[in-house]
């Protein structure tokens, strides 16, 4: 899941103790400037640099700042642990000596995972499960696509979800609750202190309740008097379960709050309220007709935040082959149109999920059998797909016309959305959406389907933070032992999105979808710009064959442009696949979304209109 930014460094050991670090340095020869990096056990995302000088060990804490940079206490900020170590290999800047020689991790030694690594993962899972009612693959996808945002969320609010957290209760009430039932040593709860806005820990020991104030320093870290400091309350509690750190004993059994006792795993997503029972007012989303409710005002919406029918979920319960005409209400509003007919807004009435907003692809009635078959094929492909980042089919309805009923992506096509919201959508936001597209495409590649029409016009937005791939009109399922589809004749093809082998040999594979993904990225980072300007199809082919590629869009980060160019590798054998593309998108997405927003982009967090 979330990857430690130091994981690639051969001198990073993970979560090892000071003693163990010193053992490794002894084994490494104890030369001056010999160093290694290890995880800091106390601060979220921090490290310790251990260095040898004059046959002695020196350990320096590296802190992760709130803006995502790293620095030694009192030192300069650096964008990552690697950059920091490189800096100190050239500039001593207060260290005992320069970093001269990395103490390499033995080849048979894995990076040691910390208690908090696995804890954090579990917390994250539990949080996603409880908050959005997600499970299985949908949960995994949510975690991959939103890890930085989720980590931030759990770090600050996770304790509210935990069974030992009792909210704002009086001291005497905490005593009443602790004395209720069995009274083992170490039974504990955490509560909000009534006046001060800080937390208190109340614990039973020898049949007596002791109260401790949880202190907070200026930077917001939590600690017991004289104890170790932590970024979050839940980390402190987990630590106190292992070490007393000044308490009478370690924390053992949680005194359960009412919610945990009721054993309701989650409230329905639609009626979720804030921790204090306050349901924040709905927030409008650009282009979206149904405002997302229940999103606390202080954070951005996530793909999983939805009211009513949630297009993030597996809608299997509403997926039917045949939808009755009486279940469908069709709006006059046209969402789009094409040769086949038009796409209309509508409502699907279901037994379990109530009324669902849908998009209905309506076949023109004069269309003959051939076109009907084409639409059936499109439906057949969509039936086999189930991923949050792919528009799902809900069913077919054969009435006055043949109709394909899909979940609604009400903010519309990506290219139009971006060109209409140029000033408010940040680059980080585009990275997030394109990462989701790469996740959808990775899924498609894994299922052995080729899309053949991937373009910004066919990426539809549910909202500002949630993109779905659509339009499977040209898509094909590849046989088990075929990795490409051979078109017999060329059709009305989107040549500007097609890889050379599609045009020259009519060969379509996931690798040619990767080429199209590169063009889609270009469209996205140029805020809905037209690729290859005014060039016509044949001109584009000559342009590409001559070794040219489109320029980097003005707002596009260098690493994203590098990835585009990789997608435009001429030979498909040498082009990356979606596994690789998704990984690159993910790493970049994680590296930018944990950081403070640059000035000007802050507006994107506000409702866009
Ligand atoms: P075509 O094959 O003609 O490109 P599409 O499937 O791309 O057909 O649909 C055409 C247009 O209809 C889209 O560009 C979009 O504006 C609208 N549309 C299609 N599907 C949906 C959907 N699920 N939600 C919202 N709008 C949609
Ligand atoms: Mg289309």
**For residue range 285-328, what is the model confidence (pLDDT) as tens digits?**
333 334 444 566 567 789 998 777 788 875 565 666 789 999 99
**Mean pLDDT value across residues 185-194:** 94
Q: Across the chain, what does the average pLDDT equal?
A: 86
Q: Would you say residue 41 has pLDDT above 80?
A: no
Looking at per-residue confidence, does 176 or 607 come out higher?
Answer: 176
323 and 417 housed in the same domain: no
579 and 480 housed in the same domain: yes
217 is written with which tokens?
Answer: 């320093």
Residue 173 lies in a domain: yes
Interatomic CA distance for residues 518 and 566, integer angstroms:
8
What is the predicted pLDDT for the residue at 274? 33
Residue nearest ligand 1's atom 10 by CA: 336
* Domain end position, chosen among 84, 102, 120: 102
385 and 421 housed in the same domain: no
Residue 539 lies in a domain: yes
What is the predicted pLDDT for the residue at 241? 84
Interatomic CA distance for residues 567 and 547, integer angstroms:
14
431 and 560 housed in the same domain: yes
Interatomic CA distance for residues 187 and 505, integer angstroms:
71
CA 210 to chain centre: 41
Q: Would you say residue 261 has pLDDT above 80?
A: no
**Mean pLDDT value across residues 97-109:** 95
2-22 confidence digits (pLDDT tens): 568 898 899 999 988 899 999
Q: Would you say residue 608 has pLDDT above 70?
A: no
Judge whether 224 and 240 are in contact, CB under 8 Å: yes
User: Can you tell me which atom of ligand 1 is nearest the CA of 338?
Assistant: 3
pLDDT-based confidence at residue 282 (cuts at 50, 70, 90): very low
**Mean pLDDT value across residues 339-368:** 86
* Number of domains making up the chain: 4
CA 538 to chain centre: 39
373 and 420 housed in the same domain: no
Interatomic CA distance for residues 506 and 473, integer angstroms:
17
397 and 495 housed in the same domain: no
DSSP label of 175: H
User: Can you tell me which atom of ligand 1 is nearest the CA of 473?
Assistant: 2
134: number of Cβ within 10 Å: 24
Range of the domain at 544: 412-592
390 and 423 housed in the same domain: no
**Mean pLDDT value across residues 78-105:** 95
How much distance in Å is there from the Cα of 259 to the middle of ligand 1? 43
pLDDT-based confidence at residue 43 (cuts at 50, 70, 90): low
Q: Would you say residue 156 has pLDDT above 70?
A: yes
Contacts 24+ apart (CB under 8 A), 35-38: 35/11, 35/85, 35/99, 35/100, 35/101, 35/102, 35/103, 36/11, 36/12, 36/102, 36/103, 36/105, 37/6, 37/9, 37/11, 37/12, 37/13, 37/81, 37/85, 38/12, 38/13, 38/14
pTM over 0.85: no
How much distance in Å is there from the Cα of 487 to the middle of ligand 2? 19
227: number of Cβ within 10 Å: 19
Residue nearest ligand 1's atom 8 by CA: 471
Q: Which of 231, 305, 357, 453 is catalytic?
A: 453
354 and 330 housed in the same domain: yes
CATH code for the domain of 338: 3.30.200.20
* Domain end position, chosen among 389, 407, 425: 407
What is the predicted pLDDT for the residue at 264? 35
CATH code for the domain of 225: 3.30.505.10
Is 453 among the catalytic positions?
A: yes
Ligand having the closest approach to the CA of 460: 1
Interatomic CA distance for residues 158 and 232, integer angstroms:
9
Q: Would you say residue 255 has pLDDT above 90?
A: yes
Strands (E), 302-456: 328-338, 341-349, 355-363, 393-398, 402-407, 412-413, 449-450
How much distance in Å is there from the Cα of 522 to the middle of ligand 2? 18
* Domain end position, chosen among 407, 422, 453: 407
Instruction: Give residue ranges with CB within 6 A of ligand 1.
Output: 335-336, 338, 343, 359, 391, 406, 408-409, 412-413, 457-458, 460, 470-471, 473
Q: Which of 336, 389, 406, 455 to mutate to test the pocket of ligand 1 (most atoms within 8 A of CB)?
A: 336
CATH code for the domain of 516: 1.10.510.10
Q: Would you say residue 559 has pLDDT above 60?
A: yes
Looking at per-residue confidence, does 232 or 436 come out higher?
Answer: 436
196: number of Cβ within 10 Å: 10
188 is written with which tokens?
Answer: 């504990």
Residue 277 lies in a domain: no
Residue 493 lies in a domain: yes
Judge whether 525 and 555 are in contact, CB under 8 Å: yes
Residue nearest ligand 1's atom 17 by CA: 336
In the chain, the percentage of residues whose pLDDT exceeds 90 is: 60
Interatomic CA distance for residues 119 and 236, integer angstroms:
12
Ligand having the closest approach to the CA of 454: 2
What is the predicted pLDDT for the residue at 63? 85
228 and 319 housed in the same domain: no
What is the predicted pLDDT for the residue at 606? 32
425 and 541 housed in the same domain: yes
72-84 confidence digits (pLDDT tens): 988 999 989 999 9
How much distance in Å is there from the Cα of 382 to the middle of ligand 1? 14
How much distance in Å is there from the Cα of 406 to the middle of ligand 1? 10
393 and 473 housed in the same domain: no
Rg value, the chain, Cα:
28
Question: Each residue of 351-360: b (16+ CB within 10 Å) or e?
Answer: eebeebbbbb
**Mean pLDDT value across residues 446-468:** 96
Judge whether 450 and 509 are in contact, CB under 8 Å: yes
Residues with Cβ within 8 Å of residue 27, at least 6 apart in sequence = none
**Mean pLDDT value across residues 499-510:** 96
399 and 423 housed in the same domain: no
Residue nearest ligand 1's atom 12 by CA: 336
3-state secondary structure of 343: strand
Report which secondary-structure segment, H or E, holds 383: helix 369-383
Residue 518 lies in a domain: yes
Enumerate residues with CB within 5 Å of ligand 2 (an ion): 458, 471
């Amino acid at each position: 899941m979330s990857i430690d930014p130091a994981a690639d460094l051969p001198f990073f050991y993970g979560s090892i103790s000071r003693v163990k670090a010193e053992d490794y340095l002894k084994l490494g020869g104890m030369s001056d400037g010999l160093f290694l990096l290890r995880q800091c056990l106390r601060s979220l995302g921090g490290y310790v640099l251990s260095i040898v000088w004059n046959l002695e060990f020196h350990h320096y804490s590296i802190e992760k700042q709130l803006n995502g940079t790293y620095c030694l206490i009192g030192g300069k900020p650096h964008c990552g642990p690697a950059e920091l170590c490189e800096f100190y290999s050239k500039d001593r800047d207060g260290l005992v000596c320069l970093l001269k020689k990395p103490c390499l991790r033995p080849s048979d030694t894995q990076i040691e995972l910390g208690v908090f690594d696995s804890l954090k993962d579990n917390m994250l899972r539990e949080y996603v499960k409880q908050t959005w009612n997600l499970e299985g693959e949908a949960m995994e996808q949510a975690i991959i696509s939103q890890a930085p945002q989720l980590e931030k969320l759990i770090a600050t609010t996770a304790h509210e979800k935990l069974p030992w957290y009792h909210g704002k209760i009086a001291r005497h009430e905490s005593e009443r609750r602790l004395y209720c039932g069995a009274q083992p040593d170490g039974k504990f709860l955490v509560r909000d202190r009534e006046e001060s806005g800080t937390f208190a820990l109340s614990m039973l020991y020898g049949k007596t309740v002791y109260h401790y104030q949880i202190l907070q320093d200026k930077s917001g870290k939590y600690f017991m008097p004289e104890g170790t400091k932590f970024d979050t309350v839940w980390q402190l509690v987990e630590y106190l379960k292992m070490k007393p750190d000044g308490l009478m004993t370690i924390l053992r059994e949680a005194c359960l709050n009412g919610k945990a006792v009721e054993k309701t795993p989650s409230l329905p997503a639609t009626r979720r309220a804030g921790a204090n029972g306050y349901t924040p007012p709905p927030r409008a989303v650009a282009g979206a007709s149904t405002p997302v409710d229940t999103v606390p005002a202080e954070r951005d919406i996530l793909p999983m935040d939805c009211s009513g029918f949630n297009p993030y979920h597996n809608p299997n319960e509403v997926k039917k082959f045949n939808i009755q005409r009486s279940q469908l209400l069709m709006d006059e509003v046209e969402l789009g149109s094409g040769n086949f007919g038009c796409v209309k807004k509508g409502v699907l009435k279901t037994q379990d999920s109530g009324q669902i907003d849908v998009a209905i692809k309506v076949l023109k009635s004069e269309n003959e059998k051939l076109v009907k078959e084409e639409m059936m094929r499109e439906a057949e492909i969509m039936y086999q797909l189930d991923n949050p980042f792919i528009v799902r089919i809900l069913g077919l309805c054969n009435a006055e016309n043949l109709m394909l009923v899909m979940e609604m992506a009400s903010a519309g096509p990506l290219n139009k959305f971006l060109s209409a919201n140029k000033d408010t959508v940040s680059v980080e936001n585009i990275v997030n959406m394109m990462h989701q597209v790469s996740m959808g495409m990775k899924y498609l590649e894994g299922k052995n389907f080729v899309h053949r029409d991937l373009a910004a016009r066919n990426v539809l937005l549910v909202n500002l933070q949630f993109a779905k791939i659509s339009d499977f009109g040209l898509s094909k399922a590849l046989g088990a032992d075929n990795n490409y589809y051979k078109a017999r004749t060329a059709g009305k093809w989107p040549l500007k999105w097609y890889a050379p082998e599609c045009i020259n040999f009519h060969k379509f594979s996931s690798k040619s979808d990767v080429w199209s993904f590169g063009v889609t990225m270009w469209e996205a980072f140029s805020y809905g710009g037209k690729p290859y300007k005014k060039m016509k199809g044949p001109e584009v082919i000559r342009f590409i064959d001559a070794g040219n590629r489109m320029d980097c869009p003005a707002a596009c980060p260098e690493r994203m442009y590098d990835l585009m160019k990789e997608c435009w590798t001429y030979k498909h054998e040498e082009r990356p696949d979606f596994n690789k593309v998704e990984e690159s998108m993910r790493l970049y997405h994680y590296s930018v979304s944990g950081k403070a927003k640059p000035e000007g982009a802050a507006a994107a967090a506000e409702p866009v209109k």
